[in-house]
Structure 1
Amino acid sequence: MHFLARSMKDMVIEYIFGCGLCNVFSLLVLGFFTVIYYWCKGNPFIGVQQPPISLNELEKKRLLRTTFQEKKIPENVDVIIIGSGASGLVCAGCLSRMGKKVLVLEQHDRAGGSTHTFEMEGFEFDVGVHYVGNMADGDMDHMLFDVLSDGQLGWDKLDSKFDSVVLNDKEHSMILFGNGEEKKYTKSLLKYFPKEEDAIKKFDTLLKDSSKSVVAYVLMKVLPKFVTKFLLRTGILYALFPQYQKLTETNVKDVLNELTDDETLKFVFGYAFGDYGTYPSKAPFLMHGMLMDYFRNGAYYPRGGSTSLAKNMIPGIRRGGGNVLVNANVERILTDDEGKVYGVSVKRHSNSVIVKAPIVVSSIGIFNTFQNLLPPRVSEQYDVQMSDLDTGLSCFQTFLGLKGETKELELRKRNYWIVNNLDAESAMKKYMTLTAEDAASAPIPLVFVSFPSAKDSCWRERYPGKSVCTAVTFVNWKWFENWENLSAASTKDHVYSAVKKGIQEQVVNVVLKNFPQLADKIEFVESGTPLSHKHYLGTPKGEIYGIDHTMKRFQPELATRLLPTTSIPGLYLTGQDIFTCGVSGAAVSGIITSGAIQGRNHFLDLYAAMLLKVCRRFWVRIAGKAQ
C-alpha cells in the first residue's frame, strides 16, 4: 500500500489546460526552460547511456547483501546516505550520475528498505510494494527508474480493475468495484450507482483538482524558502492553485459526506485511505484525491518482485565509485563544535567505525534522525518540533505460501480491500480500543489482500508450482509495545505469541472466506507485527508510512519546514517524511534532495530528458518515412 505522485508532466499540462492558459506564450516558456536545462551541464538524466553492468541474478542478490566492512568503504566519500529504501537509492543514483561518490548504509542484512523481499520455506515475499502507478513508457516515474537502472527495471501491468472493494456483511455478500482506466472509472461507478451520477461527477472533478493542486505542494519543496514565502504572502501561490487551500483544510470524511448520503458509495470513494495510513477524518482530501487520480491510467508491479528496484539501481551507484553496505547500524551523525556534520559513527560488533563525509543524508525518518542520531544541542536547531508530528497507523502483515500456480488457484493481478463495515474508520477505531488479548479473537474490520506471484510475469520461472499471498491490516501499537525492548527470543513468550497467532488466524479467516479455493493449498504462514517492522525497517512504532498524513502536514506552515535542507550544515533529509508515502512518493523525495544538494531542479531535468526522448522518436519516424 502506498501513495504515488502523479506525473509532473501531466500535472503541469493539465494545470495549463484547466486554467485556460494554454497559449503559445505558456508553451514557449515551458519549452524555453526545458531547453535551457537540456543544454545545462550536469543533467543526470541526459547524456551517454551507460551500458548495464553485466551481472547474473546470483551476483545481483549478492549486491543486496554486501556487509559493512572498513575495507569496503570508498575513499573520499562525498555523500553518506543513511537507509537504502527507494528514496535513499534514488538520491544516491542521481548524485552518482552527477559525479558524486556516494556511500549508502543500511542497518538491515539486505538492501532495499521497504522494497526488500525475504524468503522462507522456499517462498519469496515482498513487504512494502503492492502496486505503483505512472509507469507507462513516457511517464516521469518510468523515465526516472529506467535511467537509474540502466534500462534493466521492467514493470508488469495489473488488471484494469486493479483495486477491488469487497463488502462482507453477515451473510457474506461480495460486491466488487474497480478503480482502473480513466474512461472506464466513472462508467464502472455509474453501473453500480445509477442514481448517483451527480456525486460521481463531482468526485471525479475533485480528483482532477487534487492532481493539479499538488504542484503547489511540490513547489514548496523545491523553491528557495524566500521565494515560497513571497508567493504565500502575496497570495500568488493560491491564485495559481485556487483549490489548494480548500483541499488541505477539508478532510476526506467531510468531503464524502457532502457528496452523497449513500454509505456504500462513500466507502467506494474513500476505501484507499489504507494506502496512506490515516483515517479519513484526519487526512486532507488533497492526499486522497491525488492518490486516486494517479491510478486512473492503471497500476504496475516491478518485474522480478519488489527487490528488483534495489538490485538494478545499486550497480549504477557502484559504477560511480560508491557502495551500498548492509549490517551498517549508524549510531550517530557526527558534528563538530560548530554544529557542522562531518560523517557518521557505525556500530560494528563492540566497536564503532567513523566514516567521514561533508554531507550526510538521512532517509530513515524525522523521528529516528533527530531523536536517535543527533545530540540534543544539535537536534534543537531543527525548526520542526517533534510535538507537531504524529506517527501513522501501525501495521500487521501476514504472508501465506501456497501450493499451486496462478491459473490453477484462480488468482488475479489485483488487490482486494475487504471490510465488514461500510464505516471502516469507526470500525477500526472501535477495534483499536480492544485489549491485545481481545483483539486476538476479534474480527478484523479492514484487510488488504494481494497475490504478488500473480502480478509478476517472471514469478513462475523462479518459483514453479508455487504462489504467495500478502494480507495487511492496521493494529494498535500499544498491544505490542510491552515487548519493544526485549530481545527477539524474549518476545516469543506465551502472551506475545498468543496475540500474534490470534490476529494471524483472523487474517487467514478473512482470506479463506473470500478465496475458499485456497483452503487446502496453504503450505506456510508467517506474520510480521509492528515490532517486526520496527526491527527490520527501523520505524518508531511499526508504521509503514512515516509521519501521519494529516491536514496539518500539507498546510504551508508545516509543509514549508518539512524540507530536504535543514538548519544543520551538511545534513539533508529524504524519504516519505519530506514529501509523501509510497514508492513514487519516496522516489520524488530522492530527486528533490539530490537536486537540493546539487543546486538543481531535477523535475526540469526530467522534463528535458522526456522532451529529448520524444524528439528522438519524432526524428526516427520522420527518417523512416523519408526512406
Structure 2
Amino acid sequence: MWLVVFLVWVLLWVGGSYWYLFGKRSPFSLESVRPPAPREFDQRKRDKVIKQGFSVDRVPQDLDVIVIGSGIGGLTAGATLAKAGKKVLVLEQHDQAGGCCHTYIEKGFEFDVGLHYIGQVHENSLLRIAFDQISEGQLEFQELEQHFDTIQIGEGQELREYTIFSGKTAMKAHLMKQFPDDKEAIETFFKIMKVCAKKTHYLATLKLIPQWVSLLLLKSGLADLVSPVFKLSGTCATDLVNTLTSNRDLHVIFSYLFYGVPPKDSSILINALLVHHYKRGAYYIKGGASEIPFHIIRTIQKYGGNCLVRAPVTQILVNDENTAYGVKVRKGQEEFEIRAPVIVSNCGIFTTFQKLLPREISIQKEMQERLNMMRHGRGSFLVFSGFDGTQEELGLVSTNFWLFKNNDMDKSMEDFFALSKEEAPDNIPMMFITMPSAKDPESKIRHPGKSCMTILTMVKYEWFEEWKDTAVRKRGDEYYNYKMRFAQNLFDWACKLFPKIKDKLVFQDVATPLTNCHYLGAQRGAMYSAEHNLDRFHSEAVARNRCNTPVKNLYISGQDVFSCGIAGALHGGLLCASTVLDHIVYIDLLLLKKKLKRRKAKELAQLERKKIQ
C-alpha cells in the first residue's frame, strides 16, 4: 500500500515538474525572428515609436500588465510578456524611451548615455538569442577590434599601459604576455571566471524556485556540494586576488570595469563575470543604442501594447488586500488612474518602495526588510564632448580607455569618496573614455564629419545634493561652475591621450547625479541602481532578493534583481517575466539555442559536402 502511495507521489511530482518546466506555451520561437529591415534614419518616424507622448486615448484597452520605466529591464519584461499573450503598457517619465539605452542628439552630435559596449552577443549565445527574440531579429551588432580595452595606470614617468584582447584563448594568452611572472595567477583567475560564467544560472535559479527550498539548500550546505559558485558569490574580490598575486597592477586588471564599489567591498563573482562578458568579443549596436528601445517597443506594439513617454507614475495603487491593481500617471496638473492586474516596476527598488507605494505599505516590516538588503549606489558623472572632425583626423579609435591614477583601487576610491565637496573635483582617481562615433560604422552616415566622446567617472551624490530642488538647466552659476571643474579635469586628462581633440571641441554637455535623477529617474543619480556590494551577493541575499514583492501582483525588474549593466538588467527582465508567468523562460531560450546549434551544424555539414563534390 505504502509503495503504491509513494509511486503515485513520485509520478505526480515528476509530472508536475515536467508541466511546470515544459507544459506552458513558450513566448519565444524561431519563426518570430526575421531578417533585419533597412535601418530607419528618418528621425520623425523613429520619434513616433520612442517619443510617443502620454494621452489617455493612447492607452490600450483591457491591459494585462503595466511596466513602470522603459529601461532594458522593463522593455525585456514587457516584450517577453507581450509575446506570451499579455497586453502591455510601458510608462516612461522622460520624453524618450530607453533608459540607459537611449541616445540623445545635440548640435548634430549623437551620444550614448549608458550602453558603451556589450559582450556575449556572438552567434547563438543565450544573450544574443534573447535580444533576437525581444526585437524579433531587428538588432544588428558591430564587433569591435580584438583589442577592445586599454588600461592605463599611473601618471607621467610612472604610467603603465595594458591592453585587453577578446578571444576564447587570446584574452588569457595576451594577459600572460604582459604579466609573464604571474601566469599561474592569471590561470587561476580564468578558472574562476569559467566557473562563474558557467554556473551563474544556479544563482538565478535561487530566485525562481520557492524561497524556502533555496534557503534549505544553502543553509544545509547541499548547494555548496553542487557548485563552488555559491561561495564565490559571497567572496571578497580583494581577498581572493591577494591570494593569487602581489602584483597590484594585475589586481587592477581583475577589477578594472568599475561600477562604484571598491574591490574590497565587491564580489569576485561580479568582477569575474564583467571581464568574462567580453571574452568572446565586444560589440556595439549598429545605428546606436537607441535601436534597442526602437525595436523592442515595436515588438510590444505588435502584440497590442504600447510605450508612452512623458508619463511619470506618481503612485502604485494598492487595495485593502495588499494587492497592486494599477498606477496613477501625472499629465500637467491632472492625474489619471490606469489599471491592470500586474504591475512591473523597472525604476529601482528604492523608488518603487519609498516613493511609489503608499506610506502605510512602504513602512511595513516585510518592505523594510527588503530595503535593508540594499544600499544606494554611487552617482555617475558624465562628460559628452563633440568635435569637428572625423575619427581619422582626430586619432579616435573604437577601443575603450580605463585610466587610473594609481594601482590601489581600494585606497584611491576610499580616499576619493571621503573628500569634501570642494576637494573632490581636483582629485579624481579614475575615469572611463568611450568614443561611440568610432564604434558605429553608420555614424559617418548619420553625422558626417563629426566625432564624439563620452567620459564617465563615479561621484558622491552628496557633493551635488544642495542643488537637488532646482530645475534642470536652471540650477544657477554656482552649480554650473562646480560641475565644470570636474568636467575640465576629466577632459584635460583625456586630451593627454588624444591631443588633437582639444582644438576641435565645438560642443560639451555635462551630466551630474542630478541630471541622471531627472532624465533617467535614477535614485541619487546611480545609473547602476542599488549598490553592488558584497553583502548583496551572499547566496542567501541572492535567494531573498526576488522579482516578486510583499505586495501581491507587484514585481521588480532590471538591475536591482541580479546585477548591473545592460546584460544584467536584461536578465532582470527575463527573471521578472518568468516570475509573472510562473514559467521559466530560460528553458525556452535554451531549447532555441539547441535548435540553432543543430541548424548551424547542418549548414556546416552541407558546406563540407559541397566542397568535397
Task: Give the TM-score normalised by the residue count of structure 1.
Answer: 0.90
Are the structure 2 counterparts of residues 105 and 248 from structure 1 closer, same or farther at C-alpha, using a change threshold of 3 Å?
same
| Structure 1 counterpart of 2:260, from 271, 277, 280 | 277
Cα distance per residue 1:301-326 (max 9 Å; x no partner): 11111111001111110011100000
Cα distance in 1 between the residues matched to 2:496 and 2:606: 58
Deviation at 1:218, TM superposition (A): 1.0
Query: 1:334–1:343: 8 Å Cα contact kept in structure 2?
Result: yes
Deviation at 1:268, TM superposition (A): 2.1
Residue identity over aligned pairs, in percent, reads 33
Letter in 2 for 1:322: G
Q: What are the within-5 Å matches in structure 2 for residues 112-131 of structure 1?
A: 112-131=98-117
Cα distance in 2 between the residues matched to 1:320 and 1:479: 45
Query: 1:158–1:299: 8 Å Cα contact kept in structure 2?
Result: yes
Are the structure 2 counterparts of residues 266 and 242 from structure 1 closer, same or farther at C-alpha, using a change threshold of 3 Å?
closer
Q: Indicate the residue corresponding to 1:488 in structure 2.
A: 472
Q: What are the within-5 Å matches in structure 2 for residues 454-465 of structure 1?
A: 454-465=438-449
Q: Indicate the residue corresponding to 1:255 in structure 2.
A: 240
| Structure 2 counterpart of 1:603, from 565, 586, 595 | 586
Q: Indicate the residue corresponding to 2:4 in structure 1.
A: none
Query: 1:420–1:445: 8 Å Cα contact kept in structure 2?
Result: yes
Letter in 2 for 1:481: E
| Structure 2 counterpart of 1:408, from 393, 397, 411 | 393
Cα distance in 2 between the residues matched to 1:249 and 1:60: 44
Q: Indicate the residue corresponding to 1:425 in structure 2.
A: 410
Cα distance in 2 between the residues matched to 1:182 and 1:46: 29
Cα distance in 1 between the residues matched to 2:475 and 2:238: 38
Q: What are the within-5 Å matches in structure 2 for residues 220-231 of structure 1?
A: 220-231=206-217
| Structure 2 counterpart of 1:453, from 419, 429, 437 | 437
Cα distance in 2 between the residues matched to 1:186 and 1:54: 38
Q: Indicate the residue corresponding to 2:546 in structure 1.
A: 563
Q: Indicate the residue corresponding to 1:142 in structure 2.
A: 128
Q: Indicate the residue corresponding to 2:343 in structure 1.
A: 360
Q: Indicate the residue corresponding to 1:215 in structure 2.
A: 201
Q: Indicate the residue corresponding to 1:8 in structure 2.
A: none
Cα distance in 2 between the residues matched to 1:616 and 1:438: 59
Q: What are the within-5 Å matches in structure 2 for residues 24-35 of structure 1?
A: none
Letter in 2 for 1:270: S
Cα distance in 2 between the residues matched to 1:107 and 1:561: 29
Q: Indicate the residue corresponding to 1:14 in structure 2.
A: none
Cα distance in 2 between the residues matched to 1:287 and 1:108: 30
Query: 1:158–1:413: 8 Å Cα contact kept in structure 2?
Result: yes
Cα distance in 2 between the residues matched to 1:169 and 1:115: 33
Asked if residue 190 in structure 1 is aligned to residue 192 in structure 2, the reply is no
Unaligned regions of 5+ residues in structure 1, if any? 1-31
Query: 1:344–1:355: 8 Å Cα contact kept in structure 2?
Result: yes
Asked if residue 390 in structure 1 is aligned to residue 375 in structure 2, the reply is yes
Cα distance in 1 between the residues matched to 2:504 and 2:385: 10
Q: Indicate the residue corresponding to 1:238 in structure 2.
A: 224
Letter in 1 for 2:83: R
Query: 2:73–2:573: 8 Å Cα contact kept in structure 1?
Result: yes
Query: 1:79–1:359: 8 Å Cα contact kept in structure 2?
Result: yes
Query: 2:39–2:287: 8 Å Cα contact kept in structure 1?
Result: no
Cα distance in 2 between the residues matched to 1:61 and 1:300: 25
Deviation at 1:528, TM superposition (A): 0.3
Query: 1:447–1:507: 8 Å Cα contact kept in structure 2?
Result: yes
Residue 344 of structure 1: SS of its match in structure 2? strand
Q: Indicate the residue corresponding to 2:428 in structure 1.
A: 444
Cα distance in 1 between the residues matched to 2:38 and 2:451: 29
Cα distance in 1 between the residues matched to 2:367 and 2:359: 10
Q: Indicate the residue corresponding to 1:78 in structure 2.
A: 64
Query: 1:121–1:524: 8 Å Cα contact kept in structure 2?
Result: yes
| Structure 2 counterpart of 1:316, from 274, 299, 305 | 299
Letter in 1 for 2:417: M
Are the structure 2 counterparts of residues 41 and 54 from structure 1 closer, same or farther at C-alpha, using a change threshold of 3 Å?
farther
Cα distance in 2 between the residues matched to 1:406 and 1:106: 34
Q: Indicate the residue corresponding to 2:278 in structure 1.
A: 295
Query: 1:163–1:180: 8 Å Cα contact kept in structure 2?
Result: no
Cα distance in 2 between the residues matched to 1:244 and 1:589: 19
Deviation at 1:490, TM superposition (A): 4.5
Asked if residue 514 in structure 1 is aligned to residue 497 in structure 2, the reply is yes
Deviation at 1:114, TM superposition (A): 0.7
Deviation at 1:271, TM superposition (A): 1.4
**What CA RMSD, in Å, does the superposition of the two structures yield over aligned residues?**
2.3
Deviation at 1:191, TM superposition (A): 1.9
Q: Indicate the residue corresponding to 1:547 in structure 2.
A: 530
Deviation at 1:197, TM superposition (A): 1.8
Q: Indicate the residue corresponding to 1:26 in structure 2.
A: none
Cα distance in 1 between the residues matched to 2:169 and 2:373: 41
Q: Indicate the residue corresponding to 2:510 in structure 1.
A: 527
Deviation at 1:584, TM superposition (A): 0.8
Deviation at 1:487, TM superposition (A): 2.1
Cα distance per residue 1:448-490 (max 9 Å; x no partner): 0010111112111101111110000111211100111222355
Cα distance in 1 between the residues matched to 2:545 and 2:30: 32
Letter in 1 for 2:176: L
Query: 1:164–1:179: 8 Å Cα contact kept in structure 2?
Result: no
Residue 545 of structure 1: SS of its match in structure 2? coil
Query: 1:34–1:604: 8 Å Cα contact kept in structure 2?
Result: no
Are the structure 2 counterparts of residues 60 and 42 from structure 1 closer, same or farther at C-alpha, using a change threshold of 3 Å?
farther
Deviation at 1:540, TM superposition (A): 1.6
Residue 595 of structure 1: SS of its match in structure 2? helix
Query: 1:159–1:412: 8 Å Cα contact kept in structure 2?
Result: no
Cα distance in 1 between the residues matched to 2:514 and 2:21: 47
Cα distance in 1 between the residues matched to 2:16 and 2:599: 19
Deviation at 1:515, TM superposition (A): 1.1
Cα distance in 2 between the residues matched to 1:480 and 1:141: 37
Deviation at 1:262, TM superposition (A): 1.7
Are the structure 2 counterparts of residues 145 and 507 from structure 1 closer, same or farther at C-alpha, using a change threshold of 3 Å?
same
Asked if residue 584 in structure 1 is aligned to residue 567 in structure 2, the reply is yes
Are the structure 2 counterparts of residues 38 and 453 from structure 1 closer, same or farther at C-alpha, using a change threshold of 3 Å?
farther
Query: 2:344–2:554: 8 Å Cα contact kept in structure 1?
Result: yes
Deviation at 1:39, TM superposition (A): 7.3
Are the structure 2 counterparts of residues 607 and 385 from structure 1 closer, same or farther at C-alpha, using a change threshold of 3 Å?
closer
Task: Give the TM-score normalised by the residue count of structure 2.
Answer: 0.92
Deviation at 1:122, TM superposition (A): 1.0
Query: 2:30–2:592: 8 Å Cα contact kept in structure 1?
Result: no
Asked if residue 159 in structure 1 is aligned to residue 145 in structure 2, the reply is yes
Cα distance per residue 1:332-388 (max 9 Å; x no partner): 000112111110000111110000101100010000000000013223243634233
Are the structure 2 counterparts of residues 47 and 207 from structure 1 closer, same or farther at C-alpha, using a change threshold of 3 Å?
closer
Residue 470 of structure 1: SS of its match in structure 2? strand
Higher mean C-alpha displacement, 387-396 vs 357-366: 387-396
Cα distance per residue 1:494-531 (max 9 Å; x no partner): 32111111111001111101111222221111110110
Query: 1:35–1:608: 8 Å Cα contact kept in structure 2?
Result: no
Are the structure 2 counterparts of residues 621 and 198 from structure 1 closer, same or farther at C-alpha, using a change threshold of 3 Å?
closer
Cα distance in 1 between the residues matched to 2:255 and 2:605: 47
Asked if residue 573 in structure 1 is aligned to residue 532 in structure 2, the reply is no
Cα distance in 2 between the residues matched to 1:489 and 1:287: 36
Deviation at 1:61, TM superposition (A): 2.9
Q: Indicate the residue corresponding to 2:6 in structure 1.
A: none
Cα distance in 2 between the residues matched to 1:38 and 1:571: 23
Cα distance per residue 1:408-467 (max 9 Å; x no partner): 222222110011111133223222233323333x14210100101111121111011111
Cα distance per residue 1:107-161 (max 9 Å; x no partner): 0000001111111111011110011111111111111111221211000111212
Cα distance in 1 between the residues matched to 2:172 and 2:161: 17
Residue 568 of structure 1: SS of its match in structure 2? coil
Are the structure 2 counterparts of residues 619 and 295 from structure 1 closer, same or farther at C-alpha, using a change threshold of 3 Å?
closer
Tell me the number of residue pairs that the alignment of Structure 1 and Structure 2 aligns: 591
Deviation at 1:623, TM superposition (A): 6.7
Residue 512 of structure 1: SS of its match in structure 2? helix
